[in-house]
Amino acid sequence: MIWKLDAALSLKQSQGIVDNLETAIRAELGQHVEIDTHIEPIIANWLEGQDVPDNLKQEFEQALYACTADRGDNKISHVRVRETSQGVIVYFDYYLPADMCVDQVHTEVDRVERSIRSGFPHVFRVIGHAESLPLPQRQQIF
């Protein structure tokens, strides 16, 4: 499990939080459950940044579309690109087939994130959020 915690917490503090969460999960699911955890900082500067100009956002949208175009059933939406004190952060929703296994989903999202990072070296972070098809009617697709 990936736990996103306040970046200012010490390792001891964050481990205490995660230990409590693991205990609660085991209480609910049983002591036999193996829990593998990973701690990451919450990107607090996301809100402190500002949206990039539309032309730059469109470059990212086109790059996302290009690296997913070979999979005709996959769609990108809700692309957000922000300039923060740490650099540019790109966030997007990636709609994939609902019957795709988690391992394949993770591999596919990672592939797209790596493609964007390699094409835009100034990007600090790329965050792809997997969603399952079919798309809600209101979604804008690129």
Tens of pLDDT along 41-59? 876 655 678 999 999 999 9
> For residue 59, what are its two tokens?
């470059």
More confident residue, 136 or 129: 129
Residue 78 has pLDDT above 80, yes or no: yes
- 73 Cβ neighbours under 8 A, 6+ residues apart: 96, 97, 133
Token pair 């797209």 is found at: 112
pTM for this one? 0.71
- Separation of alpha carbons 129 and 136, rounded Å: 15
Strand-pair partners of 109: none
Task: Kindly state the average pLDDT of the residues 50-74.
Answer: 88
Name all domains of the chain by residue range, CATH numbers in brackets: 2-42 (no CATH), 49-132 (3.30.70.1350)
Task: Kindly state the average pLDDT of the residues 91-109.
Answer: 92
Do the Cβ atoms of 51 and 57 come closer than 8 Å?
yes
More confident residue, 139 or 94: 94
Q: How far is CA 28 from the centre of its chain?
A: 27
CA-based nearest residue to 67, from 104, 141, 119, 136 = 119
